[in-house]
Amino acid sequence: MLKKNWVFGEIDFSALEKVKKRFCLKDSIAKLIVKRIGSEDKAIESFIKPELRSLPEPSLMAELEKGAERLVSAIVNKQKIVIYGDYDADGVTATALLLLFLKEINYPVDFYIPDRIKEGYGLNKEAIDLFKANGVKLIVTVDCGISDYEIVEYGRQKGIDFIITDHHTPPKILPNASAVINPKRKDCKFPFKELAGVGVAFYLLIELRKQLRKKGYFNIVKEPNLKTFLDLVAIGTIADMVPLLGPNRVFVKYGLDEINSTKRKGLKILREELLIETLDVKSVSFRIAPRINASGRVSSPIEALKLLLTSDEGKAKELVKQLHKTNSQRQKVEEQALNEALKQIELLGNRYTYCLYSPDWHQGVLGIVAGKLVDRLKKPCFVFTNEKEKVIKGSGRSIEKFPLDIVLSDFTDYLLDFGGHRLACGLVMRGDVLHTFSEYIENRARSLLKDEEFCEIYNIDSALSLNEIDEDFFKQLEMLEPFGYGNPEPVFLMDDLEVINYKFVGAKENHLKLYLKKNDTYFNAIGFSLSNNGISEHSRISAIGMPKQREFNGTKSWDFYIKDYIVSVSRKTL
């Protein structure tokens, strides 16, 4: 069983009192904010009231103005443009974003998304040759291109310009493009470095619209309302697991509003088919994004892109059915690979890291399988399969204290290709290098990590007393949304709870439902996928989780959603 660790962070109590008074907050909410955000008024204000006007200035993004100028020049001179995207949900939404904006200003452009299996990630020479033959003069990349120095040079020799928009860690030498727009550039003054690819593309549109306005372009065509594109920005941002802080928080907050009132036929039909009344971060993460991603994993990403672009209801219904079918196929392929990977881990025994390989695994599910292994084991995991003769391709997922972009920087001489973030990466190497790679990763992990770090960590935001839980509490809790990666759901501690009764519920009877009492207050609690670890009637527990409000026939009540618990004292033993 995976070890669990409850962590209580330190707090500055003088800052806490100031924040409570300044923003009129409950004690538990104020503690959460001080721990996560700090005590600076401006930072707290922008966190609890995220607004579009609070977005960092586009002028701070290196080469953004240059990129927009080159794009304006292409539009004015009627040059042929291709939007070149990645095959995941971030890349697909970013591609749709630029295509729909340019369509709205009556400038037709082409798009290209490489096949994951046949072409792999990023730019490639065969695609460049195709563009040259078709008279393309400008390629705008989204969510890719930052590591494609040689391909950009190849394209430039053929008379093609490039605007690179990306958010992956830049190499030492940047592509020689008309503009390289990436907040992670060392010379970029943009204050927030963790935009998704679709977020970077959206900033390009902000600057593009500004420059087109100066040119008087909107005297001829209607000026687009950029807010209506935030549905796509929100989906890509949530799907790519970037922190929901700073600009990402603003994008997702307003983007969810746009999704829930969207007129885009594809998104509307998809939501209806999935019976989702109101989309939130969880439903995008676990229901919308997997279907968009599935097409790029085991089929063609064009399916998902067409769904986002179509204005035809009948076509949208056909595409949704196809996405469901593709997602089911992805789930089967993924399940088989995951089960085989777990068997390999059993044979390898206890390690700090796992590097797993099978020639039979589908390239499209490697990242998901690696992610699920890390979720289970809380250890860095790499999953590989064949790419071509004597060459293997893999995906890695990691834990917070083992940053892949830094750890693998000393191994790049052995890699044929590499790209990624702190916690996720893709890599290609010769098959005979796998053992060397596995030992390198294991040795680095043993030098950086400790046994006790391989556990489920719950960072507890605050203790919570029953007298705090009222209508104001839930209103203040709502100010902290949207919750997601980087801003997880709050974890509150409730102590000394008496178990009045309990039972298991759900189709598989794997959810623990409790009826609890503290002092003279009774309330319900639910722990999804929690087992009984010593609970009996009248035992006492400490539980961590979050109260959630519900309404039935006009009456509001709340349940405590338990993430973990500890049995303390049973009255039977007193």
What stretch(es) of the chain map to CATH 3.90.1640.30?
54-259
Do you know the residue count of the chain? 574
**Which of 111, 75, 108, 105 is closest to 91 using CA atoms?**
111
As annotated, the residues of the chain forming the CATH 3.10.310.30 domain(s) are 350-454
- What's at 230, amino acid-wise? L
Q: Which of 276, 291, 347 is nearest to 322 (CA)?
A: 291
Q: For 54-259, CATH number?
A: 3.90.1640.30
Q: Is 477 helix (H, G, I), strand (E, B) or coil?
A: helix
Assigned architecture for domain 491-573? Beta Barrel (2.40)
pTM metric for this prediction: 0.91
Phi and psi at residue 502, to the nearest 5°: -155, 160
Q: Which tens digit of pLDDT belongs to each residue from 402-449?
A: 999 899 988 988 999 887 778 888 999 999 999 999 999 999 999 999
Q: Within its chain, how far is the Cα of 113 from the centroid?
A: 20
Q: Which residue spans of the chain are classified as CATH 2.40.50.140? A: 491-573
Tens of pLDDT along the chain (574 residues) come to: 566 789 988 898 889 999 999 999 999 999 999 999 999 999 999 999 999 999 999 999 999 999 999 999 999 999 999 999 999 999 999 999 999 999 999 999 999 999 888 888 899 999 999 999 999 999 999 999 999 999 999 999 999 999 999 999 898 899 999 999 999 999 999 999 999 999 999 999 999 999 999 999 999 999 999 999 999 999 999 999 899 999 999 999 999 999 999 889 999 999 999 988 888 999 999 999 999 999 888 888 999 999 999 999 999 999 999 999 999 999 999 999 999 999 999 999 999 999 999 999 999 999 999 999 999 999 999 999 998 889 999 999 999 889 998 999 889 889 998 877 788 889 999 999 999 999 999 999 999 998 777 888 899 999 999 999 999 999 999 999 999 999 999 999 999 999 999 999 988 888 999 999 999 999 999 999 898 988 999 899 999 999 999 888 888 899 999 999 999 855 443 3
Architecture of the CATH domain 350-454: Roll (3.10)
The 3 state secondary structure assigned to 499-518 is EEEEEEECCCCCEEEEEEEE
